[in-house]
Structure 1
Amino acid sequence: MVLLRRNIIVGLIACFVIACGPEYSFSNSVLNTSSVPADADPAVADSIANEKRAKQDALLDTVSLRFYMSKNSSNPSVFDEHGYRDGLWEVYYSNGQLASKGSYRNGIREGLFESFYENGQVKEKISYRDGLIEGSSESFYSNGKPSSKGMCLGNHLHGNWETYFPNGKLESRATFENGYPNGLYEEYYSNGNLKAKGIIENGVPVGAWEYYYENGKLKQKGSYTKQRNGYYEYDYDDD
């Protein structure tokens, strides 16, 4: 019998937590070349220079960007009478390659936002509603293959989510409810063989779980049960 802490599941589902609720912070308040995150928008005025948007630091690539307000565009980047972003906004790498694009309504993100790698490949596709991540969310590797995909509800993971290895094979699959994994969880090796599977309830493992070696052979199986002291007992079979 093995005692396991409540946070055992954190390592299993860490690949999902970066999908919703990003955070950005801005310090500059001028529309010019500056060192900012590749998929960030520049601060538009002193009154909103301290604006912050959700994006985890681990996802940010610092590059030199230029911001363009295209006079020839049918949907140019503009400000409303209060100085807030309104309409389509685009951010470019210093080489002229598009880094990100999306629309604002009264300074709030609305609709599909896309970010791109410097080679032109799509990096992320995230849907917003009233400034919150709502609907489909997808991320990609620089080679164009999918990295993760699923749905969000009010900045929380919600519904079915899948993550992938750079070779395109499935890495993990889980179902979320308001940000917490709930239901069957499956994890795989990069060769496609099953690594682990079991049930999660409100973010913690329960019931029968199975673990496998990379060659597909069963490594261990057992069951999780909650204890009064906040630990979990894991009974496993040696066969």
Structure 2
Amino acid sequence: MKRILIIFILILSIFSITNAYSEEMHKEYYDSGKILKESHFSNDKKNGKEKTYYENGQISSIKNYKNGVVDGEYIEYYLDGKLKLKGSYKNGLREGEFKTYLINSKSAGSMFYKDGKEIKSTLTPYMKEDVFFNYSDKTETQMDIRDKKDGYYHMYYLNGRVMRLVPCNEQGLYDGTFIQYYESGQLAQKGYFKNGLEEGEFVWYYEDGNIKEKAFYKNGVKQ
């Protein structure tokens, strides 16, 4: 009888431990029913890989968590599956080199971090804007990059409206007239690039169409 009681207590203990350490997968979906995000949880905290997807099923990003905090390798992909960005987090902060790539797979330079603070960058301000470091669900699917047409990469908001018309030459550098729009469709910015550097007049607009700011550049330097 005593032996049976001991066995029962052991079984009960194992059952309690198993329930105390629960693991589960959380999934989020687009309105179309296609998968948007997969997150691993243990003890109600994110642990392990979290994957986000474009609506076409291609992986958008892979993020690693440890006890609810981003920690480890972080990767982003373009809509066609090509590598966009690769770096690492430590205790929720960016750490070390974040390598970035153009849509044509050529290097777009790197940004270097120490304890979450940027200490060095080889990117132009505009290339920096195209590299999304995702901190919230709101920004993770902010932009959809599609095919190149007429010398421009067309970038779209999720509502289908054009976000940017980005001119790129064969080397993958900005080269030509750069145009950006508000999500409403109103013109937000217009300027010109030459071999990756700002050149000439840049104009920024308020959403009502009035001019917000003007600047003139020469060889990437604001005059």
TM normalised by structure 1 equals 0.42
Rg larger in structure: 2
Structure with higher RCO (Cα < 8 A, 6+ apart)? 1
